[in-house]
Amino acid sequence: MVVRRFVVRQGGGGGGGGEAEEHEVEYDTEHGLDILRLQIFSLTSVPPELQKIVVEADGSVVDDGTDLEAISEGLRLVAITGEEEEAEAAAAAEAARAQEKSDEELARMIQIVVEADGSRVDGGTDMESICEGLRVVAISEGDGEDIAAAEAARVQEKSDEEFARMLQAEEEALLLQQYSIRNDGGEEFRERVEPYMHQVLMYEDPMRQEAARKTVPMDELQEKALVSLAKLFLEFKYAPTPSWWDCIMEGNFSPSKDEEDHAFLLQLLFWFKQSFRWVNAPPCDSCGRETFNVGMGTALPSEIKFGANRVEIYRCNYCSSTTRFPRYNDPYKKLGKDAVENGPIALHSTVEVLDMKLVWWNKKLDYVIAISKDGVRDVTKRYTRKWHEVLSRRIITSEDTVPAILSSITGKYRSGLSIDGLTALENRDKKESEELSKAAYLEVDTSISLPGRQSGSVEWRKARLELSQVESLACSSCPARKCVDAHVSKIYDALSALLSHFCDGDIPKERVIEVFDSLKCLMQNLKDAKFKSRRATLDKKTQLVFEEIFPSVERLLCAMSLKAELGTDGKCSVTTVGNAVHTSLALPVAMDVVDEILSNYKSNAVCTKGHQFPRGNRLCSGSVLASGEQLPIGIATAAFDGIRSSKWEEPDGAKGCWIIYRMLDGQTCELDSYDLMSANDVPERDPMDWVLEGSTDGGSTWNTIDARSSVIFDSRFYRKTFTVDKRYKANAFRFRFLRVRESNGNPRFQIGSIDLYGKST
């Protein structure tokens, strides 16, 4: 292994004109040429298959046979043109066909025979055990067909042999199990399983369910679920057109009940992940500082009442006070004051992976028992592809006893059901039994890296062997995504017009602040209202303010699918018109913009005309492609959604990443300025150096139109405006972020928002 530093030059020289761009690449030669091509792709966006890498010192082409440890550090990247690509591909394909044909013909013409016994040597022969004397024999045309049929038979035979070996291993495990299991008729197994039924049935208690409903923000999660479905609907069911937003407004957006339930479950999982945390060591009850575990305590009757049979004792590192930490198992207690301290209740907080098959924190399993109010079932086969190994560890009782005991427990809890209810459950059981009987014999896709446990410190999870195969689920690349942001530009246009009205009329700052305070109050009232029937009534003072600027306010309300209406009592109110989801998408954007305008006025940071925020002519409805993204909270399109709290996060972007914005329907634009806003946290991840490029051919070639270095964002949600001096009409724009504020020990890049301004044609 040798770590090399290459300087890759792109463009310039030859007949192409322009200055060459230089990219520094730190590369481990052990990884091979394909990884080098991918690194270059992340910096230049030239796909690996279109890269021709040349050593500048001698003009040699870098290929699979090149010694990457010995060549000089200066490299030049030449993008292969369409004709060159076709010619090279055709030549390579022809050479491959010729070689393949040659190999096939040679294989058909000869066979290798063991001289000692006359047997044929093939893919299934044990080369270690055969004699050393071999003989090559020519094959006639008829014999070749026989050999092809024999080869197919051998492949099938090999598959059958593997299956037979698996079954034999299971039989051996069952045989050994007989000498290890406890001969108590399965009582220990029953005693370990049945108490969980009592715990699960607590969730059926109306009092506890009501406590859950009061704790979980149901209306908010339902709104978020529908908003997420609307974005998917717009991205995948309709191509963005001048009337694409009408798909929602005209009622074409109608997700099924299953889609709504699935989206709601996702939002519920997100809420659990954000609202609950796993506690390794609680803060000190006396001073609130760090503690360390000193052993276990005896549970008090008041703790046992809520299922806290386990009580941990911690001592403070500073004041030496002790803190009791009961681990409650009753949902009623968890949903009360101690909810945040005891972790998720009934749902896995691993929201990144909804299909939990094969995912159980990488532990060696013995039994996985699914428990519901309708009974219990052994589902271990869903979580393993090495059933024979699991069998060897299942020694509590025999395999015949397990289903018998589980069936007995299930029957007990189904005794009061109707005939129709029992029939439905039995049909479900039958279907699941068929799935489970096949599950243990499915092939493992070893290319999939399964996640480990997400809660708890790394040290604690490591000690329990519950880390993932690869401890990060971060993506290294992502698909192209459409921007659902037409409403953002409409809101910017409306508020920009309102600001221009104030500037042209030389309105005092105090009056402007009063107007935007009224707007902010109105939007907060609308946000707090039920999203399906949003309505906010204006007081007399606010009503007078809005009458003064009604044309601009009406434009803003229209951008959010809201309207003002006068009641019979003379009071004015604002309510949703059209689809409520549109308002849910647009309202947070408008609230953030109004809040930023107020902040600027109150701090005397109002920009000059042309640099004020918000401005008109914001580009929208394009598509985005990024070098990577952090799911689910750092998706690439979040940089363009107009919501301050969201962000694009690149897990490996601290030393270089890129994001491309392509115009809608191939339109072109002469960019005149752009805004970047810092994200919500971690200043070390802010961009510091970058290059902005434009392309006239959708991203095949790029020209630099702006470059910045040593830029510092003074605070969180800090907006900076940059003027583009080089006029260049393009249909795609690329930001190449070269480094972040602090890349030592920080691999990540993040940006809160990107706004591009210019007139599209």
- Residues 347-391 have pLDDT tens digits of 333 333 344 444 444 567 788 898 988 899 998 888 777 788 888
Lowest mean pLDDT: which of 147-156, 181-190, 606-615? 147-156
Q: Kindly give, in sequence order, each residue whose CB lies less than 8 Å from that of residue 301, ignoring residues fewer than 6 positions away.
A: none
- Residues 574-605 have pLDDT tens digits of 999 888 888 999 999 999 999 999 999 998 87
pLDDT at 472: 34
Residue 698 carries which DSSP code? S
Residue 616 carries which DSSP code? S
Integer Cα distance of 488 and 677 in angstroms: 15
Lowest mean pLDDT: which of 12-21, 394-403, 599-608, 680-689? 12-21
Q: Per-residue pLDDT for 137 more than 80? A: no
Token pair 């679920």: residue? 225
**Which of 446 and 672 is assigned the larger pLDDT?**
672
Integer Cα distance of 253 and 110 in angstroms: 65
Confidence of residue 67 (pLDDT cuts 50, 70, 90): confident
Confidence of residue 729 (pLDDT cuts 50, 70, 90): very high
pLDDT at 115: 63
pLDDT at 662: 95
- Residues 437-448 have pLDDT tens digits of 776 655 544 444
Lowest mean pLDDT: which of 211-215, 406-410, 448-452, 461-465? 448-452
Residue 678 carries which DSSP code? -
Containing 412, the helix (H) or strand (E) segment is: helix 401-413
Alpha helical stretches, state H, 414-485: 419-439, 458-463
pLDDT at 452: 53
Q: Per-residue pLDDT for 333 more than 90? A: no
**Cβ 720 vs Cβ 676: under 8 Å:** yes
Amino acid, single-letter form, for residue 630 = Q
Query: Which two structure tokens, joined as six digits, stand for 184?
Result: 């108590």
CA atoms within 13 A on the CB side of 55: 14
Integer Cα distance of 567 and 569 in angstroms: 5
Mean pLDDT throughout 459-467?
A: 56
Q: Kindly give, in sequence order, each residue whose CB lies less than 8 Å from that of residue 637, ignoring residues fewer than 6 positions away.
A: 481, 482, 483, 484, 485, 624, 648
Sort strands 74-79 and 3-10 into parallel, antiparallel or unpaired: parallel
- Residues 290-304 have pLDDT tens digits of 999 999 999 999 888
Residue 30 carries which DSSP code? G
Instruction: Tell me how crowded residue 356 is: count the other CB atoms within 10 A of its CB.
Output: 12
Q: If one looks up domain 3-79 in CATH, what number appears?
A: 3.10.20.90
Integer Cα distance of 505 and 291 in angstroms: 62
pLDDT at 465: 55
Containing 147, the helix (H) or strand (E) segment is: helix 141-177
On average, the pLDDT of the chain sits at: 79
Q: Per-residue pLDDT for 107 more than 60? A: no
- Residues 686-726 have pLDDT tens digits of 999 999 999 999 888 999 999 999 999 999 999 999 999 99
Q: Per-residue pLDDT for 661 more than 80? A: yes
pLDDT at 319: 93
pLDDT at 99: 59
**Which of 497 and 342 is assigned the larger pLDDT?**
497
pLDDT at 242: 38
Lowest mean pLDDT: which of 167-171, 536-540, 617-621, 651-655? 167-171
Name the residue among 356, 381, 374 with its Cα closest to residue 428. 374
Alpha helical stretches, state H, 442-579: 458-463, 486-504, 509-528, 540-548, 550-559
pLDDT at 17: 46
pLDDT at 159: 63
Mean pLDDT throughout 335-351?
A: 37
What is each CA distance from 603 to 503, 509, 717, in whole angstroms?
A: 17, 11, 15
Query: Which two structure tokens, joined as six digits, stand for 203?
Result: 């969730």
Mean pLDDT throughout 85-112?
A: 56
The b-or-e profile of 507-522 (16+ CB within 10 A means b, else e) is eeeeebeebbebbbeb
Sort strands 732-740 and 687-695 into parallel, antiparallel or unpaired: antiparallel
**Cβ 653 vs Cβ 686: under 8 Å:** no
CATH 2.60.120.260 fits 623-758, yes or no: yes
- Residues 223-248 have pLDDT tens digits of 988 888 877 665 544 334 434 444 44
Please say whether the dihedral angle defined by the alpha carbons of residues 397, 403, 404 and 407, taken in this order, is positive or negative: positive
Is the bond into 588 cis (omega within 30 degrees of 0)? no
Mean pLDDT throughout 120-143?
A: 60
Lowest mean pLDDT: which of 140-149, 273-282, 473-482, 638-647? 140-149
Sort strands 311-316 and 322-326 into parallel, antiparallel or unpaired: antiparallel
Q: Per-residue pLDDT for 76 more than 80? A: yes
pLDDT at 152: 62
pLDDT at 345: 31
Mean pLDDT throughout 37-57?
A: 79
Alpha helical stretches, state H, 255-328: 257-275, 301-304
User: Of how many residues is the chain composed?
Assistant: 761
3-state secondary structure 52-113: EEEECCCCCECCCCCCCCCCCCEEEEEECCHHHHHHHHHHHHHHHHHHHHHHHHHHHHEEEE
pLDDT at 198: 84
Beta bridge partners of 323: 314
pLDDT at 110: 56
The b-or-e profile of 263-277 (16+ CB within 10 A means b, else e) is bbebbbbbbbbeebe
Mean pLDDT throughout 45-70?
A: 83
Integer Cα distance of 648 and 433 in angstroms: 44
Residue 550 carries which DSSP code? H
Q: Is 699 left (phi over 0), alpha (psi -120 to 50) or beta?
A: left
Burial category of 384 from C-beta neighbours within 10 Å (exposed 0-12, middle 13-18, buried 19 and up): buried
pLDDT at 245: 45
**Which of 331 and 360 is assigned the larger pLDDT?**
331
Give the start-to-end residue ranges of the domains of the chain.
Answer: 3-79, 222-233+254-276, 485-603, 623-758
Mean pLDDT throughout 399-408?
A: 92
pLDDT at 357: 46
Q: Kindly give, in sequence order, each residue whose CB lies less than 8 Å from that of residue 616, ignoring residues fewer than 6 positions away.
A: 492, 493, 496, 497, 757
